Chain A
């Protein structure tokens, strides 16, 4: 550290001697040559600090474009290590070849109809094997709704022309309908006619065995037949032994038949008490965001470019993806809102920040600004099926400014007479306040209430979480009289209004219908609704609620 040591190399770090200290000592060679300009913004010795020059965006653009070209070039030129083709072709991904080799030409046709489901289709094909070979007795395919289960199965079976029958269990209210359908499709009208009136499982198996040698539609001998059952979870509620029968159908009828069950629910809930033949479970995973984008972009309007539609889908997914991943719902929403989205382009102008400006297809930002409030409104109405798509279209065409959203369910804008409103308010108070607190709220001179007992409540006991409690009619009337300002006599009119509230399902009757002298009721409206009503009569309901003390 001495000046005499200046000749030595003192810039090396001495980490061994309590390294942190050295940071505080200045280097003897240090020369402060920081100019005033530079002094304002950071230190020379610290990299990355200091006033940065403005980035030249055009330079950045050019650099990125050049790099992109490079990367693209690298990807598209064939790599020497993979070979250039020839007699056996270039080595492709192994997954591609999972599809059974005897189905080559069908594979190409099928791949178009099954986007993003190639892996599952390949798996299914390899399990099915060749038509003459035996396959598993039962396959259980599960996955979320609209994940392509029935679509894949049906497309495969149709394209490969395999004998099959697809039945939705929701249509078969009795097992007999299922049996008749199966026999008709597989074995012809004779077999179906041989089935007695309300067939038992035994009849079905017997007739199948008798007729199994006769074939419909000239299918080759011993081809595997497929019985596809959609919504298989409903089989659990049908005949007790039906599910156990269907999973072992191959063994019981001694024929080459495979049963494919499609369901949203996992297999554990299907298993009967004493067990049954376990099917092979096959999972159809949900689509990723990219795959959803790809599939939704397929139904693009022909008069607009693919990029335009793709950006629209991007915006739609941005709003709805966090809430809903169901492909069918998203397609419905995409179809409904597209006209609104391209309205600025067709009209040639859009209102952005209250200024009308011209809009082209590529002005994504303006289009987004235009459509965003409509998509948010759609989430609260069409997504919830509060209004039909026809009404939604009408609303779009009316083209008013997006005012306060009218609550659309009938429940929300029912108009009640004056005393009915107070009855409802009284019912709400009676349901959600415990009976012991009535004195405090509704009696004018209630004396001192001990605070400790009163305010001791933990959050779980909040009545707004547990639900309304039943109250007798007397209590309702007592609260009603203390809540209403004017003096009214108890007459049939008041009582009949209570009955009409029950008919409107704003109150529910809890006691038995035969108990006439002391009926009990419960209030069945939400806080939002009752707050709106009390506002119309200038009643501050929050003051009277125990939970909001």
Chain B
């Protein structure tokens, strides 16, 4: 029973599953563009109109697309570009320059990138320019077409627009927007950003040159639309090779979406966040459970995927601490309760722990101070406690003030789930008094 094909399952099922995985993974992981975006029709039309005016009629424009992370800004732009480039004239003339705030961290680097993307490296050669503006104007002049004396329209796409606003003097932004305001060349500047307050970041002179046109993608979907979205993301398209399998799959997706427990889970996700990316992560976890032994999607898959998404990371880490470290965490919790969140140091925690040991007359956990110190340092390495100030020079280890980064509820939940927790420690942890 070595290769998959030698197994006694009918061949088409394995093939179908592979095809299914391929389609859905491209859609969920690789952000494949849908044929049309349902939720943002109006924004699509607006942006398309704007860019058409630049590309065809030579009108300069600037616009910002604003929306939280994962709300589909890049997808919107790509869809619009795809529709725009279907016209032959645009395809022939329009030049595109894509810049990203994460990559082009400096204006100099950005300028080199623009030169490269416009394929003007030979033209620039070894010229030295006095200022940024001269360089940019030279580049745009060089784009004059052969027969007409106007330059070709250029589309500048600035991803992570807010990061460009942190450059020195905002030179790049100033010059680009300046070009778009003056009648030098038809230029469209499209910025994508996740910050709603991006205009506050711009300097006065830059802001005045900006057209203040903003397209907001604010994810105003209702719950029923959200469930429909789930269904449509999981459904197979019509051009799937095996029609019968596709129909079966789509009907199972439908039945899962109508299931009550799945609806509750999806409502929980909806209340948490409505954006595409978290939805895709949930669906990807469901998809990973599909295989030849489990060829259709079931409500249990969705529930399990949701449980994985919502598991608390810190509680999971608390589960793996040793008993000594757990006792130290409980001692810190009591110190926080008694002294209302004031920072503590190792001696105080050790003192609290020793008081507990004396009360219970339990000599099993009576470890030496260096051993307890090692456990304390392990907690520090896991960043469950953090020093209040970062200067480590003058104070001894035992007396450095620390704060606990865990919440009381997390500690109590961890105590409940802790494997084979001794009862006296559990009682000490859950009691209100130290």
Tell whether, in the assembled complex, residue A136 and residue B322 are in contact, meaning their CB atoms are under 8 Å apart: no
B285-321 near A? 1/0 per residue, CB < 8 Å: 1001101111000000000000000010110110111
Give min CB distance, A112 to chain B, whole Å. 17
Taking CB atoms and an 8 Å cut-off, the chain A residues in 496-545 that contact chain B are 508, 510, 522, 524, 526, 528
Tell whether, in the assembled complex, residue B371 and residue A323 are in contact, meaning their CB atoms are under 8 Å apart: yes
Tell whether, in the assembled complex, residue B194 and residue A274 are in contact, meaning their CB atoms are under 8 Å apart: yes
Give min CB distance, A106 to chain B, whole Å. 10
Measured CB to CB, the nearest residue on chain A to B405 is A269
Binds B, one of A34-42, A97-105, A163-171, A344-352: A97-105
Report if B395 contacts A (CB, 8 A). Answer: yes
- The interface centre, meaning the residue of A248, A266, A508 with most chain B CB atoms within 10 A of its CB, is A266
Tell whether, in the assembled complex, residue B281 and residue A280 are in contact, meaning their CB atoms are under 8 Å apart: yes
Measured CB to CB, the nearest residue on chain A to B370 is A384
| Complex: A252 Cα to B104 Cα, angstroms | 13
Among A134, A266, A384, A522, contact of B25 (Cβ-Cβ < 8 Å): A134
| Complex: A260 Cα to B103 Cα, angstroms | 21
Q: Given the complex, which residues of A lie within 8 Å of B314, measured CB to CB?
A: 266, 268
Tell whether, in the assembled complex, residue B345 and residue A322 are in contact, meaning their CB atoms are under 8 Å apart: no
A383 with B371: in contact, given A324-B322, A465-B351 (CB under 8 Å)? yes
| Complex: A97 Cα to B14 Cα, angstroms | 14
Tell whether, in the assembled complex, residue A144 and residue B317 are in contact, meaning their CB atoms are under 8 Å apart: yes
Tell whether, in the assembled complex, residue A266 and residue B313 are in contact, meaning their CB atoms are under 8 Å apart: yes
Measured CB to CB, the nearest residue on chain B to A325 is B322
Report if A200 contacts B (CB, 8 A). Answer: yes
Report if B358 contacts A (CB, 8 A). Answer: no
Give min CB distance, B119 to chain A, whole Å. 14
B260-296 near A? 1/0 per residue, CB < 8 Å: 0000000000000000011001001100110111100
| Complex: A524 Cα to B396 Cα, angstroms | 7
Q: Given the complex, which residues of A lie within 8 Å of B369, measured CB to CB?
A: 528
Give min CB distance, A366 to chain B, whole Å. 23
Binds A, one of B136-144, B220-228, B248-256, B374-382: B374-382
B148-162 near A? 1/0 per residue, CB < 8 Å: 000000000000001
Binds A, one of B1-9, B81-89, B120-128, B179-187: B1-9
| Complex: A325 Cα to B320 Cα, angstroms | 8
B97-122 near A? 1/0 per residue, CB < 8 Å: 00010111110010001001000000
A137 with B105: in contact, given A274-B194, A466-B399 (CB under 8 Å)? no
10 examples of A-B residue contacts, CB within 8 angstroms: A126-B291, A134-B26, A134-B29, A276-B69, A277-B70, A278-B281, A380-B368, A384-B374, A524-B396, A526-B398
Q: Which residues of A contact B (CB under 8 A)?
A: 87-88, 94, 97-98, 100-102, 104-105, 123, 126-127, 129-130, 132-137, 142-144, 147, 200-202, 205-206, 241, 244-245, 248, 250-252, 264-269, 274-278, 280-281, 283, 285-286, 288-289, 321-325, 379-380, 383-384, 386, 460, 464-468, 508, 510, 522, 524, 526, 528
Q: Which residues of B contact A (CB under 8 A)?
A: 1-4, 7-8, 14, 18, 21-22, 25-26, 29-31, 68-70, 74, 100, 102-106, 109, 113, 116, 162-163, 194-195, 277-278, 281, 284-285, 288-289, 291-294, 311, 313-314, 316-317, 319-324, 339, 345, 347-348, 351, 364-365, 367-371, 374-375, 381-383, 394-396, 398-399, 419-420
